[in-house]
Structure 1
Amino acid sequence: MEKDEIRRFDSFEAFEEICSLAKQKEVDFVLLGGDLFHENKPSRSTLVKTIEILRRYCLNDLPVKFQVVSDQTVNFPNRFGHVNYEDPHFNVGLPVFTIHGNHDDPAGVDNLSAIDILSACNLVNYFGKMDLGGSGVGQIAVHPVLVKKGTTTVALYGLGNIRDERLNRMFQTPHSVQWMRPESQEGLSVSDWFNILVLHQNRIKTNPKSAINEHFLPRFLDFVVWGHEHECLIDPQEVPGMGFHITQPGSSVATSLIDGEAKPKHVLLLEIKGNQYRPNKIPLMTVRPFEYAEVVLKDEADVDPNDQASVLEHLDKIVRNLIEKSSQPTASRSEAKLPLVRIKVDYSGFSTINPQRFGQKYVGKVANPQDILIFSKAAKKRQTTTGENIDESEKLRPEELNQQTIEALVAENNLKMEILPVDDLDIALHDFVSKDDKTAFYACLQRNLDETRKKLNSEAEKFKIEEEDIIVKVGECMQERVKEISLRSKGDTGLASSTQNLFLTC
């Protein structure tokens, strides 16, 4: 969202509101369930704004009223090896504990993430980072951060994101996941600890192998904070037969624009005394309103498949109703903001319309005029040899496509590239995957658009170009760039080869 001029500050406003609520309620600490950052390599601007918010609310002279009594070198395996408020060089009045998610997970030779930067700055306590040692699927030991305040003792377990398929296999492999219980202390038994787990994994069971079943978790837990899922299900739900409750806080801002994210956003204030807890959900006031609707065109009586005007009129009516609904004052909003509007349209039996052109009339009325509409078709089901019905959409799995190139996909599907050269897309794909360059495709698009505009402008000064000739000229520009790339690659063969080798050895 950083490149979105309307929504670029939404996540910072929500994060600052969360920190402000923590300060107002005088909480002992803040617990984050992962994905503090939406990008694996957040921009400098994002890092600076995040550090500013943490410094403003976390560094102060307020006393910290709890102790960490576990082995902190095991809990926080960084250079300093202790909870941040115990550092004599910092006044930390609001400790923040966080695990990593699937967006801000550690990577690279040194296995570092953006959370490690905040941890090195002594702004957060980063725990739950696992070293997947052992043979086969790997082996991990989950050590709790033991927190003590008065007579209340809390064992805080953290499990940062691990690829769901792998963690699923680990849970089903004996001794691959070991849960370390607190050692018995004088006047304190193992059963006296209130056990909390925070994890960041797929919970929705569209594919059981790519999700974590609640029944994989140990029964001694009392409370589970489940990250990753964007839908806010803040009210703790008991898992039958397991003895613990799960809260799913969801994302603080809408990012995916799916049905679940249209629900009101909350944070949970958890009060613990002994082995009892009391939840208190608090609505977030700064969140941008989001309205979602689904429509099946063939089920609408006033829509004619042969009359696109009737389709547009029907969709316009839905958008206007959603905008009006979002503008109604509610107690959970601090100020009026342009709403997010998303309509999922099942167009089976109909032709699609241009979403960008449709959204132009709503510029200044909604925050996302370019993608109000998303089109889909009812998934066809096919039977497997075992008789099981599977959606056609499940035939293509990511692991089956990971060796494909853009060039091969274009050739197989008999596509004709009109603006972007195939070689440029291949380079962008390589940079995106191998270098973790999140802006690779954006840069590729911008570079080609700029070159095309310059070429057309220079020719327009010499010759008169009719409107119908523009598409032809764009194609000619692309062909010229393809020839230039081909000549350049022949001249740079040695350099390209050595660079490729360097990347392969990293």
Structure 2
Amino acid sequence: MVGIDPGSWSADDTMRILIASDIHLGYLENDAVRGEDSFIAFEEVLSLAVQYDADLILLGGDLFDHAKPSPACMFKCTQLIRKYCLGDKPISVELLSDQFVNFSRVVNYEDPNLNVSYPILSIHGNHDDPVGQSSISSLDILSITGLVNYFGKWSDYTHVRITPVLMQKGSTKLALYGLSHLKDQRLSRLFAEKKVEIERPDDGNDWFNLLTLHQNRADRGPSNYIREDVLPSFLDLVVWGHEHDCQLYEMKENKTENERFFVVQPGSTVATSLASGEALPKHCALLQIHNSDYILTPIPLKTVRPFIFKTIVLSEEDLGSKQVNENEKVQEFLKSKINEAISEAEKLRSGDPKQPTLPLVRLSVFYEREEQDFNRVRFGQNFNGLVANPNDILIMKKEKKIRERKEQINNEDNHISGVAAEAVDVESLLRTYFESLPPERNLQVLSVRAVTDAVREFTLKHDDDVFRRVFEAHKRRCVAALLESTAEKVDEVEERLRICKQELDAADDDQLRTLIDTTAALKVNNTPTMKRAVVVLSSDDEAKVEEAMARGRGRGARGARGRGRGRGRSRARADPDPPPPEPAPERRTTPRRSAAQKSATWLQSLATTRRRRESSDIEDSD
């Protein structure tokens, strides 16, 4: 049992905060074995808040695994919060700041229509950030129902202003700062441009300053993470969400004036990827604050499914002499390693009746020769009923020296797989893949950055329409660039498209969005922009546009057009024996019209091909 420090601290002046992050409710909720893992862990976190009589529960983002959680997921979440957080226990923490500035509504434990015993304060993460019309987050729904106090939301991406939630218990004053997830590259640029403001109370020295944020902490490339040194030094403690490996240590600190803050990384409460960092023991933490002093105590979670991760290099193992049945010999060796991992997982059982019984096991196997590779899914069926993840129990990779040797003989495929194997996320994987392609196979029109952003939106937010929007926006952008140029020959058109792509790749996030969105009006309609576009197209393209416009106006409008060229063509298609049309002045096919016609056909074909690609063609890396 975690208690007050036996020194001079009094309970009336000590603020107790239970800290957790990356709950990921709903992760694999349709899986028959692992579907309840996230809810079981969340229930334990809430029960610990009751057990240790916490004044507040602070969540560091990603409460939900999807931006649009299923009704079943939302139901279970609501049920758990009502079960553990509502009640008649008095709240001894007084809120001093403007509640409508902090939460956009009255804090739930001061709402006369609610009885709250354990208030939850939460920012959003990258998995549950606002989406759709009016940018509504799942946390907005929990907030309006009075179950969660949602803070740290920010929608102006030209600058960021963080206003603290000012709270007091006895003589202890807490300034709680929250910054929900923003794209790391954008936030990193705002920090570099000094456009992130963190307001501080007038009597700043009297407050304990606590910041919670949800960003990349590990270095994932230039400007793709937030450096700790960009955060203000007046902070006392930072709760860092998003990173799933738990880094919690017991601390008893009294920060001096010249010292910088400490960082607390709670990690996730459920394993959402079978990586080595997820195999670390899962914790939440109890933070006790008394004036400027604090005690941080990690609390191990006892209902988390056991997870064993091992790395095996076959060249370092004694497998005996090379024989014809080397494949079978490797499989038998790996079976023994998995059985050892299952026995090791038994030792991780806490004895809690709610802890899942089947463990997670992942072997990362590096092999030398093709003869050592085999069907992983078929191999995993040997462990049905013994592990929770039989279908992905193995990940097989070739050893680095094999990749380097094949790179020396210009084996392009192995070069690509080698560099992509080290990618930390899907965006890095795609970026590395396109950088590894030879020039003749690389993207000629589409922006790589826009494609990776679209994949991110699809994987995290399940936005099924994002690819169509991005490809259509690029097509309109390229057509607009061609129409504005003086390109007439094919090579001139290709050069103009290359320049257009370079502009998109070189733009930052805001410029990229602006360059794409400025072409949104270039649709097939009656706008002046489209009328100008019709003039420069070839006669065949012009007829197609006129027919589309005629269909939009209806039969009556088509009849009112008179005896124009478009009407003659429509009649020629409908009547098998049409009368000869009136002779029209012949238009000379200039090189510019011919190039524009070819470009339009090429872009349409490219967009159609991209739309047909399924998301299963893109594999994530561990």
- Seen in structure 2, the aligned counterparts of structure 1 residues 235 and 375 have a Cα distance that, compared at 3 Å, is same
The amino acid that maps onto 1:295 is I
Residues in 2 aligned to 1:245 and 1:436: alpha-carbon distance in whole angstroms: 32
Shift of 1:181: 0.4
Is 1:148 the counterpart of 2:148? The answer is: no
1:86 aligned residue (104, 110, 127): 110
Q: Which residue of 1 aligns with 2:127?
A: 103
Q: Which residue of 2 aligns with 1:229?
A: 243
Q: Deviations over 1:394-420 (max 9, x none)?
A: 799848969x9xxxxxx979xxxxxxx
Residues in 2 aligned to 1:50 and 1:400: alpha-carbon distance in whole angstroms: 33
Contact 1:224 1:247 survives alignment (8 Å): yes
Shift of 1:182: 1.1
Contact 1:236 1:245 survives alignment (8 Å): no
Residues in 1 aligned to 2:274 and 2:459: alpha-carbon distance in whole angstroms: 28
The amino acid that maps onto 1:65 is S
The amino acid that maps onto 1:115 is L
Contact 2:85 2:118 survives alignment (8 Å): yes
Q: Deviations over 1:162-191 (max 9, x none)?
A: 1111111111112x10010013xxxxx310
Residues in 1 aligned to 2:287 and 2:426: alpha-carbon distance in whole angstroms: 40
Q: Which residue of 2 aligns with 1:126?
A: 150
Give SS of 1:110's match.
Answer: helix
- Seen in structure 2, the aligned counterparts of structure 1 residues 14 and 434 have a Cα distance that, compared at 3 Å, is closer
Q: Which residue of 2 aligns with 1:37?
A: 64
Q: Which residue of 1 aligns with 2:159?
A: 139
2:53 aligned residue (16, 23, 26): 26
Give SS of 2:212's match.
Answer: strand
Give SS of 2:223's match.
Answer: helix
The amino acid that maps onto 1:352 is D
The amino acid that maps onto 2:188 is N
Contact 1:236 1:246 survives alignment (8 Å): no
2:260 aligned residue (243, 246, 249): 243
Q: Which residue of 2 aligns with 1:193?
A: 207
Is 1:295 the counterpart of 2:339? The answer is: no
Shift of 1:242: 5.5
Q: Which residue of 2 aligns with 1:326?
A: 345
Residues in 1 aligned to 2:179 and 2:458: alpha-carbon distance in whole angstroms: 25
Is 1:376 the counterpart of 2:392? The answer is: no
The amino acid that maps onto 1:206 is R
- Seen in structure 2, the aligned counterparts of structure 1 residues 434 and 266 have a Cα distance that, compared at 3 Å, is closer
The amino acid that maps onto 2:180 is G
After TM superposition, the score normalised by the length of structure 2 is 0.60
- Counterparts of 1:322-471 in structure 2, within 5 Å, are 322-328=341-347, 330-331=349-350, 333-334=352-353, 335=355, 337-350=357-370, 351-378=372-399, 392-393=419-420, 398=427, 433=458, 437=462
Is 1:117 the counterpart of 2:136? The answer is: no
Is 1:274 the counterpart of 2:299? The answer is: no
2:221 aligned residue (200, 207, 212): 207
Residues in 1 aligned to 2:426 and 2:389: alpha-carbon distance in whole angstroms: 29
Shift of 1:305: 8.4
Residues in 1 aligned to 2:268 and 2:459: alpha-carbon distance in whole angstroms: 28
Shift of 1:52: 0.3
Residues in 2 aligned to 1:353 and 1:29: alpha-carbon distance in whole angstroms: 51
Shift of 1:90: 0.7
After TM superposition, the score normalised by the length of structure 1 is 0.73
Q: Which residue of 1 aligns with 2:17?
A: none
Contact 2:303 2:356 survives alignment (8 Å): no
Residues in 2 aligned to 1:242 and 1:36: alpha-carbon distance in whole angstroms: 32
The amino acid that maps onto 1:277 is Y
Q: Deviations over 1:108-143 (max 9, x none)?
A: 23111111111111100000101224xxxx101000
- Seen in structure 2, the aligned counterparts of structure 1 residues 155 and 332 have a Cα distance that, compared at 3 Å, is farther
Shift of 1:207: 1.4
Residues in 2 aligned to 1:173 and 1:331: alpha-carbon distance in whole angstroms: 49
Q: CA RMSD in A?
A: 3.6
Larger Rg: 2
- Seen in structure 2, the aligned counterparts of structure 1 residues 332 and 255 have a Cα distance that, compared at 3 Å, is farther
Q: Which residue of 1 aligns with 2:620?
A: none
Give SS of 1:116's match.
Answer: helix
- Seen in structure 2, the aligned counterparts of structure 1 residues 436 and 14 have a Cα distance that, compared at 3 Å, is closer
Q: Which residue of 2 aligns with 1:416?
A: none
- Seen in structure 2, the aligned counterparts of structure 1 residues 275 and 341 have a Cα distance that, compared at 3 Å, is same
Q: Which residue of 1 aligns with 2:329?
A: 310
Residues in 2 aligned to 1:111 and 1:212: alpha-carbon distance in whole angstroms: 24
The amino acid that maps onto 1:168 is S
Residues in 2 aligned to 1:248 and 1:344: alpha-carbon distance in whole angstroms: 26
The amino acid that maps onto 1:41 is K
Shift of 1:328: 2.4
Contact 2:270 2:304 survives alignment (8 Å): yes
Q: Which residue of 1 aligns with 2:196?
A: 177
Give the number of the structure with larger relative contact order, counting CA–CA contacts within 8 Å between residues 6 or more apart.
Answer: 2
Residues in 2 aligned to 1:123 and 1:271: alpha-carbon distance in whole angstroms: 23
Contact 1:105 1:113 survives alignment (8 Å): yes
Contact 1:142 1:158 survives alignment (8 Å): yes
Shift of 1:76: 1.1
Contact 2:250 2:297 survives alignment (8 Å): no
Residues in 2 aligned to 1:328 and 1:434: alpha-carbon distance in whole angstroms: 35
Residues in 2 aligned to 1:67 and 1:412: alpha-carbon distance in whole angstroms: 62
Shift of 1:372: 0.3
- Seen in structure 2, the aligned counterparts of structure 1 residues 434 and 301 have a Cα distance that, compared at 3 Å, is closer
Residues in 2 aligned to 1:90 and 1:202: alpha-carbon distance in whole angstroms: 36
1:252 aligned residue (269, 274, 282): 269
**Gap regions ≥5 residues in structure 1:** 184-188, 383-389, 405-410, 414-428, 441-492, 499-506
Give SS of 1:271's match.
Answer: strand
Shift of 1:349: 2.9
- Seen in structure 2, the aligned counterparts of structure 1 residues 434 and 313 have a Cα distance that, compared at 3 Å, is closer
Contact 2:367 2:398 survives alignment (8 Å): yes
Q: Deviations over 1:214-245 (max 9, x none)?
A: 11111000011110011011116899985111
Contact 2:180 2:213 survives alignment (8 Å): yes
* Number of aligned residue pairs: 408
- Seen in structure 2, the aligned counterparts of structure 1 residues 310 and 213 have a Cα distance that, compared at 3 Å, is same
Residues in 2 aligned to 1:41 and 1:397: alpha-carbon distance in whole angstroms: 20
Residues in 1 aligned to 2:44 and 2:338: alpha-carbon distance in whole angstroms: 29
More helix by share: 2
- Seen in structure 2, the aligned counterparts of structure 1 residues 331 and 288 have a Cα distance that, compared at 3 Å, is closer
- Seen in structure 2, the aligned counterparts of structure 1 residues 23 and 397 have a Cα distance that, compared at 3 Å, is closer
Shift of 1:208: 3.7
1:46 aligned residue (40, 64, 73): 73
Q: Which residue of 1 aligns with 2:89?
A: 62
**Gap regions ≥5 residues in structure 2:** 1-27, 408-415, 434-439, 443-453, 466-546, 553-622
Shift of 1:260: 1.0
The amino acid that maps onto 1:291 is I
Residues in 1 aligned to 2:399 and 2:441: alpha-carbon distance in whole angstroms: 25
Shift of 1:22: 0.3
Q: Deviations over 1:33-66 (max 9, x none)?
A: 0000111111110000000001111111110111
Shift of 1:26: 0.7
Give SS of 1:128's match.
Answer: coil
Identity of aligned residues (%): 44
Moved more, 68-77 or 365-374: 68-77
The amino acid that maps onto 1:265 is K
Shift of 1:347: 2.4
